[in-house]
Structure 1
Amino acid sequence: MLLGFKSELNLNNKQRTALAKHAGVARHAWNWGLGLTKQILDHNRDTREDKIKFPTGIDLHKWLVALVKPACPWYYEVSKCAPQFALKQLAEAWRNAFKKKKKPPRFKRKGKHDSFTLDGSIKLDHFKIRVPVIGWLKTYERLPVQFQPKTVTISRTADRWFISFKLEYEPINRPKPHPVVGVDLGIKALAVLSTGIVVEGASSYRKYEKKLSRLQWLNRHKQIGSSNWRKAQVKIARLHRKIANIRKDTLHKLTSYLAQNHSRIGIENLNVSGMMANHKLAKAIQDMGFHEFKRQLEYKCQLYGSTLVVVDRWYPSTKTCSRCHAVKDEMPLSERVFRCDNCGLEIDRDFNASINLEIAAS
């Protein structure tokens, strides 16, 4: 199976400039291609005759070489792979939009999600990696030299640059101490396991919300583009990165524990987008990272030889008694204790739901 590997780069100023140039060219190619494809879609929508065939990634790159590169000589200062992969990714984004899998692509802004992809003569060493045109780039951690990736993606978060690529891993099948477990995700606690373990959420955004608001408030009157404005933007981006890293760290520890120690894992197929419609709970739900939890658990179950059972979202895990299996008509969110009218069981509502999910996953 393929797994992603990501590491921070240890760069000098010359290398930072080179990476910024590559990201800028990739962003320019994306925005140019997006503008052109939108014009083609508008033309085909307005006319019934003389419709233009929607271009592929190869078509867009041919037009870029013929029309854009001669007028923009700075394209030749970077690798040809940066704009080429940007247009490939744009074509893939349009395919997903046409299939209703994702929303249509949008224009990119400088300094926000800067990234580019390279292929060609890539070589790994213990603490450095060689990429086309740019050359050797040092890393802060040891790289898996037994693998040789075909493509690498370099991205920037705040003021730090990262390199990522895919590696081929063999699944790890080891005996699990627990046969099955049910996991109930919530807001009060991130996860309640049917084994009785309660995992508290990081709530990183709630912890740093006031500090983030303060930084944004101090930046409100700074002149856009000035030196002080850029410094403030970096501080805000660093805090956003810290919040995201704390959340990811908590989720990685939980999902690794579940996949390494349980043969079957039962979770509920939550309607996260529908839950986010509740403005009173949206911030707390987003702070927990339910979607990221499911994404991590899916690939870690494949890696460690576990089975992930996603229970239907209409399964009444919260309203069902885990002892006699009687189903209540209503179970408001304010009731934190489940009381069964049939057998008299009194149990924490989240723990009761996790036991029901374990039964459904068995």
Structure 2
Amino acid sequence: MKTAHKIRMNPTLEQVEYLKRACGTRRFIYNWGREQWEKQYQAYKAEQESVPEEQRVLKAPHALALKKQFNQIREQEYPWTYHVTKCVVEGAFDDLKKAYDNFFAGRANTPQYKKKGKSHESFYLSNDKFTVGSHWISIPGLGRFILDQRQTKKDRGKLLRKLGTVNLAEKLRFVEKGKASLPTKKRTQRKHVLCGSVKILGASVSCEAGHWYVSVQVEIKRELPPQPVPVVGVDVGLKRAAVVSDGRRLENQRPLALHLKKLGKLQRKLSKKQKTKDPQTKRTVFSKQYEKQRLKVARKHQQIANIRRDVQHKFTTELARTCVAIGIEDLNILGMMANRKLSRAVADAAMGQLLQFLKTKVATVGGDLFIASRWFPSTKRCSCCGHVKKRMPLKHRTYQCLACGLLIDRDLNAALNVLWFATEQLRQLHA
């Protein structure tokens, strides 16, 4: 199984300078590849339309050819890209390839240029270029970069390894049996995952709201835990984030609604900070106070996202560990976001994230997840007799069956219907 562990980093100011430079280099190379791709594709398309097939010489652009083209001109035109690890260049073209693959497959829109301050700042490290230790990670090229900035020649060899290691907030949670000693404290032991084998595939270093993180991707072999018996259905909504057919409920925390007043105050302060437009370069120049305030807004958004993510992680983990099969309903989240009266509440509930967590964790423990069609009448159908109503408005929080007289909570009725769907699918699967 392939998974990842995201760990917060605690870099020094010198190390932050290198990490920012690596992110900027990756962003520049991605934009260069995006520009060249469009130019070459336009030339290729024009040749396809005007030149006979036997006389055509141009080929459709692809990431590998662009990387070779960039490496040929890199030393003459962009020598500053050698100040960071070569993994940055390889990762940028890999990202470009994935972006166009998703575009041609219809999974995403046309790839856009990455803009400083707006795009997600990150870069990739291959598995043979870094080392993860106990509360530290070695970043390739970091120590040499710092020594060059200091312009010192004394004891360069002794300082190189120490300057190239960045402090981590915690250890890698995946531990191979027999190769590492487990901690003595029970609280710390719960954070470790014992595996038959652990193979590091790579890592991604990223910046979120001024904090640096490294996500280490690993491939592990682990024995599946014994499967529990229950089969449950889960109904996801706005009033309650999730209702399980066995009675468990996840209340909607509404973190955005609770912090909206504070967030609005921070954003109003941000709008009043100084920003000017350079008449020569046509670029917007932000003041230092603007950047400080922007960081406060970003950290408030991060706090809201962390509250939501923490609650959903705990709920989905418990559900995946205690149920052999789970039924959920496919939701038209984009359609709900189009409703201007519900869009903020839908975004605050993060139903798509909850469903994604559930899919990942059920697959991890070896359970079954059955997804009902969005046209499945889970809300309108009676969980007792199967009668389907014509309408069931949102204002009606109680379901009353016109055929058998059942009176039940609306969300619990939907969860029981999804449970029926999951049970039928499980029976057909093992028939």
Q: TM-score, normalised by structure 1?
A: 0.95
CA-CA distance at 1:53 after TM superposition: 2.4
Which residue number corresponds to residue 125 of structure 1? 133
1:338 match: secondary structure: strand
Q: Aligned in 2, Cα 1:280/1:17: closer, same or farther, shift over 3 Å?
A: same
CA contact (8 A) 2:244 2:415 kept: yes
Q: Aligned in 2, Cα 1:89/1:356: closer, same or farther, shift over 3 Å?
A: same
CA-CA distance at 1:169 after TM superposition: 3.0
* Total equivalences in the alignment: 362
Which residue number corresponds to residue 155 of structure 2? none
AA aligned opposite 2:22: H
CA contact (8 A) 1:259 1:304 kept: yes
Pairing 1:211-226 to 2, within 5 Å after superposition? 211-224=262-275, 225-226=286-287
Query: Is 1:141 aligned to residue 148 of structure 2?
Result: no
CA contact (8 A) 2:37 2:62 kept: no
Pairing 1:160-199 to 2, within 5 Å after superposition? 160-170=211-221, 173-175=224-226, 178-199=229-250
Q: Aligned in 2, Cα 1:272/1:320: closer, same or farther, shift over 3 Å?
A: same
1:97 aligns with one of 88, 92, 103: 103
Q: Which runs of 5+ in 2 are unaligned?
A: 143-163, 177-197, 276-285, 424-431
Q: CA RMSD in A?
A: 1.7
Query: Is 1:115 aligned to residue 116 of structure 2?
Result: no
CA contact (8 A) 2:202 2:218 kept: no
CA contact (8 A) 1:124 1:148 kept: no
CA distance in 1 between counterparts of 2:230 and 2:212 reads 41
CA-CA distance at 1:357 after TM superposition: 0.5
AA aligned opposite 2:70: L
Residue deviations 1:253-286, cap 9 Å, x none?
1110110111111100111112211111111111
Which residue number corresponds to residue 283 of structure 2? none
2:258 aligns with one of 203, 207, 210: 207
Q: Which runs of 5+ in 1 are unaligned?
A: none
CA contact (8 A) 1:185 1:192 kept: yes
CA contact (8 A) 2:199 2:220 kept: no
Pairing 1:312-351 to 2, within 5 Å after superposition? 312-351=373-412
Q: Aligned in 2, Cα 1:42/1:209: closer, same or farther, shift over 3 Å?
A: farther
CA-CA distance at 1:175 after TM superposition: 4.0
Q: Aligned in 2, Cα 1:65/1:77: closer, same or farther, shift over 3 Å?
A: same
Moved more, 156-165 or 83-92: 83-92
Larger radius of gyration: 2
Q: Aligned in 2, Cα 1:150/1:361: closer, same or farther, shift over 3 Å?
A: closer
1:190 match: secondary structure: strand
Moved more, 7-16 or 117-126: 117-126
